[in-house]
Structure 1
Amino acid sequence: MKLTTLVNKLVVRRTDRLFAKFLSIEEEKRERVINAAMKEFAQKGYSAASTNEIAKEAGISKGLLFHYFTSKKDMYLYLYDHSIEMLVNEVEAKVDREERDFFKKIRQTAVVKLGIYNVHPDLFQFMEKAFFEESPEVKPELLERYKRIAASEYSHMFADIDTSKFKDGVDPGRALQVVLWSMEGLGEKMREQHRRVGGELQIEELMSEFDAYMELFERSFYK
């Protein structure tokens, strides 16, 4: 099963009747709305984002905007799912499927995702803002999505790794789970730091810490 198919089963499906009206409009108008909403949410976060500004930026009335989406929350979660699908498609297209080294593939996946910043800066900014989102209206659902998607993505992408490199007695499946738990912990550390001091995501610092974790795990798990 392709990763995109798997993810589509885990996130709110964009073909759901909830978004049928929005999906039925012409692509150019649909992209205007998506771009306007992504820009507004990326700049202001969920709570402060204005649906009036989104409608104005998209060149449509607020009434029409809520004809497409039943609420601001539905619009936001739709946009999040749409962004996840774009990220997954980029990873599928650019990660070397022939690479079977566990840790090389993990880093390759991380580099591809961060590289999207250069191609889709608005999407990256939106996803960064969503990662740090604290609104109780959407935070629980964002965290649930993040955990499910991360687990399914990694388990699928690393199904064909070279297990001969692991030390005797090391279960590759459990090793993957340890890596996932550590990445969740790193993410929570970043959220806590953001809550305390704010500021933008420091990509170089993040990758440096990511690499330090991977080097530690590689020494621990590999022969």
Structure 2
Amino acid sequence: MYNSFEKLPEEKRNLILRISIEEFVQNGYYKASTDTITSRAGISKGILFHYFKNKKGLFLYLTEHTRDMLEQKTRLEMEKLREDDYFERIKKMMIIKYRIAIDYPLETEFATKALLMPPVEASEEIAALNSKYMAKYREKSMQDFVYDKKLLEKLPLRMAPEKVIEVSAFILEQLGAKYFEKYKSQGENKNFEGFIEELDFLNNIIKYGVIEKNRPTQ
């Protein structure tokens, strides 16, 4: 469907992608201007629509492109994790995700908004893309790399391992979102020290909140 676009030289292809992502992130789907995109990219609107058919087609392509790119980069790093300690593993996972988010802030913001707040006319296609994505990675879920239930089963927990995973994932994902928003508002200040400090604090709250007192860990 996008063969003509994907046959372009890499430099030109990346230019169109970058400008398009910037336009949608800065102005939202409905106010994003294909005139602005084509003017900045040095192409005609006819050529843009030849590549993507229409504005909706461009948006859908960008949704799949950004999500695949971020997911691949994240998985490559997470597959290297070898820590046997669950809490150390989830800490390193959050550092990986935060670094990737601030290295690719526009792509991260675009992918997040597209999946959580898709435009009405593209909602069915976005839902289908999400289903396709989930099926693609079902056998290699994030839990296989990070949220490993086996690492928790040897600990004296107050609750089921599944509940610990649910709680820790929710709390730490909220932390990541908080610092990503801070990074967007502060520009180049990546604030790694503040992020790590709060990450350690919350990770310890989770750890000592779910492990029973007076029972040694193995």
Equivalences for residues 27-38 of structure 1 within 5 A: 27-38=10-21
Superposed CA offset, 1:41-86 (max 9, x none): 1211222111111112221111111111123223223212222222
> Secondary structure of the residue that 2:120 maps to in structure 1?
coil
Which of the pair has more CA radius of gyration? 2
The match for 1:106 is: 90
RMSD: 4.0
Distance 2:157 2:74 in 1: 31
Q: Is residue 74–residue 96 contact of structure 2 (8 Å, CA) maintained in 1?
A: yes
Q: In structure 1, what is the Cα distance between the partners aligned to 2:170 and 2:101? A: 25
Single out whichever of 24-33 and 57-66 deviates more from structure 2: 24-33
Greater shift, 103-112 or 161-170, is seen at: 161-170
Q: Kindly tell me: are residues 20 and 29 of structure 1, through their superposed partners in 2, closer, same or farther at Cα, counting changes over 3 Å? A: same
Task: Tell me: CA distance 1:209–1:81, structure 2 relative to 1, closer, same or farther (3 Å).
Answer: farther
Of structures 1 and 2, the one scoring higher in RCO (CA 8 A, sep 6+) is: 1
Q: Any unmatched runs of 5+ in structure 2?
A: 184-190, 212-216
Q: Indicate the residue corresponding to 2:130 in structure 1.
A: 145
Q: SS of the residue aligned with 1:60?
A: coil
Match of 1:176 in 2: 165
What SS does the corresponding residue of 2:181 show, helix, strand or coil? Answer: coil
Long gaps (5+) in structure 1: 1-17, 191-199
Q: Say if 2:1 is the partner of 1:21.
A: no
2:142 to 150, 154, 163: 154
The two structures have a TM-score, normalised by structure 2, of 0.66
Q: Is the 8 A contact 1:22 1:30 kept in 2?
A: yes
Q: How many aligned positions are there?
A: 195
Q: Tell me the TM-score normalised to structure 1 length.
A: 0.65
- Once the two structures are overlaid, the 10-residue window that deviates more, 161-170 or 59-68, is 161-170
CA spacing shift, 1:53–1:100, aligned 2, 3 Å: farther
Match of 2:182?
202
> 1:176, 1:160 → 2: CA distance?
8
Amino acid at match of 1:103: F
Does structure 1 retain, via aligned residues, the 8 Å contact 2:149–2:162?
no
Preserved CA contact (<8 Å) 2:153 2:161: no
- Among all aligned residue pairs of Structure 1 and Structure 2, give the percentage whose two residues are the same amino acid: 26
Displacement after TM superposition at 1:201 (Å): 1.5
Contact kept in structure 2, 1:42 and 1:125, CA below 8 Å? yes
Which one-letter code corresponds to 1:52 in the other structure?
Answer: D
1:183 Cα offset (Å): 6.4
**Aligned residue number for residue 104 of structure 2:** 120
Alpha-carbon distance in 1 for matches of 2:171, 2:160: 17
The one-letter code sitting in structure 2 at the alignment partner of 1:53 is: T
**Residues 45 and 133 in structure 1, CA contact (< 8 A), matched pair in contact too:** no
Give deviations 1:145-184, integer Å, cap 9, x for gaps. Answer: 3994998642232348523553257543443234445567
